[in-house]
Structure formats: structure tokens, C-alpha cells
Amino acid sequence: MDSIGQRIKNARKNASLTQLELAEKTKLSRSYIGDIEKDRYNPSVSTLELIAAATGVPASKLLSTSGQTPTPPRGVRIPILGKVVAGIPLEAITDIDGWEEISPKMAASGEYFALRIKGLSMEPKLHEGDIVIVKRQSDVESGDTAIILVDGEDATVKQIKKNKEGIMLIGLNIDVYPPHFYTNREIADLPVQIIGKVVESRHTW
């Protein structure tokens, strides 16, 4: 019998959709759809319903039959990027420094990548060599820790403080990185770009 991933792949192809087109229709990431089709883990019911609506195949037909043993959920690999470039899709970045794993539930909620901490500016919370898991997004809330690109330089990890005049980048170790404030004009001209939100850190022993 076909696996659930194979049935989803067949449904997508029968609907004349690429993985990217299905991702756009369902608001899921392309890499997540690829992992489902490869049976790396079972999709949730809500994900099946999104795929069913996009392909025109009832969710009941996509589900595993009672005679099949469900594929156990597996973690999803995400790249540890050596460099982050604004506007470049993650799948197009080839500078990869290794791999980390996140849960299927997390992977289904957006696009994620990992970065290795360099320097001492975020001590004592983050140490050099630690890995941070980042959800790719172009804005964050004041108080969040984010990945930022300033004037096209390498990505930096800093806490964000916002006000109506601009944003301040804060390193927890102010002896290494005193707070830097950027006006709204500087944000546009340099530019100062938020690439993602840090959602988890992993300490390297």
C-alpha cells in the first residue's frame, strides 16, 4: 500500500501542482511539504485538511488506512547557516555549517534555520558556539531577541527595543557591545533588517 506521503505526493501531482505551488496555497513551507512526501513524519489533521482543500482530494483519502502502521513522527532537519542573506530563500543558501533538528509541530508553524553564536556580546545568556533556532520573519516584538543584518554585514544576534523613533540593538554584555540605536531613517538607508526571531537556544558543551 502507498504511504500517506506517497498519497499526498500523488494528489499534488494529479492537481498539477509543484511543491512550491502547494506551499503557497496551503501557507505551509515548501520544505515541510517535501518532508511529508518523503514520510519523514505524519502530518497533522489540520495540515491534511489544508492539503485536501488545495488538491481537491478528500482528507479521508489521504489518511492512512486502518491496516497500515502509521509512520512515527520524526524530527525535521534545519540548516545551521554560515551566512544569512536578506531576500534569499533558505533552500537557495549553500553556506551550511551543519544541521539541527526541530519538532514536526514547530516545522509546521513556519520557516526555520539555525545559527552558531559568534562573540561574547550576548553573555551570559548565549555563549560563543551555542546554537540558536530562528523563525524566519521580517519583524519582531519589542523585547524579542532577533537576527539582524546592519548595512549588509554578517548577521548579529541582539535584543530589540522599539520606540516610535527607531530601534535599539542590545547586547546583554554591554562591555562588549554597548546599546546601538538606529533611527527610522537609518533603518531605511543602511538598511537595518530583521531576518528572524530567536525561539530557542542550544548550549554546546
Is the distance from CB of 138 to CB of 194 less than 8 angstroms? yes
Annotated active-site residue 16? The verdict is no
Average pLDDT taken over every residue of the chain: 84
Given 9, 29, 121, 135, which residue is catalytic?
121
Given 9, 135, 158, 197, which residue is catalytic?
158
Q: Report the distance separating Cα 111 and Cα 89, nearest Å.
A: 10
Confidence of residue 153 (pLDDT cuts 50, 70, 90): confident
Phi and psi at residue 129, in whole multiples of 5°? 95, -20
DSSP 3-state of 128: coil
For residue 177, give every residue at least 6 positions away whose Cβ sits within 8 Å of its Cβ, in sequence order, or none: 119, 121, 158, 171
Confidence of residue 93 (pLDDT cuts 50, 70, 90): low
Q: Report the distance separating Cα 143 and Cα 186, nearest Å.
A: 20
Burial class (CB in 10 A: 0-12, 13-18, 19+), 188: exposed
Quote the DSSP letter at residue 134.
Answer: E
- Look up the pTM and report it: 0.62
Q: Report the distance separating Cα 136 and Cα 151, nearest Å.
A: 19
Q: Following DSSP, what letter does each residue of 68-122 receive, concatenated?
A: SPPPPP--EEEEEES---TT--GGG---EEEEEEE-HHHHTTS-EEEEE--SSTT
Lowest mean pLDDT among 86-90, 91-95, 109-113, 162-166: 86-90
95 or 139, higher pLDDT? 139
Annotated active-site residue 158? The verdict is yes
Residue 41: is its pLDDT beyond 90? no
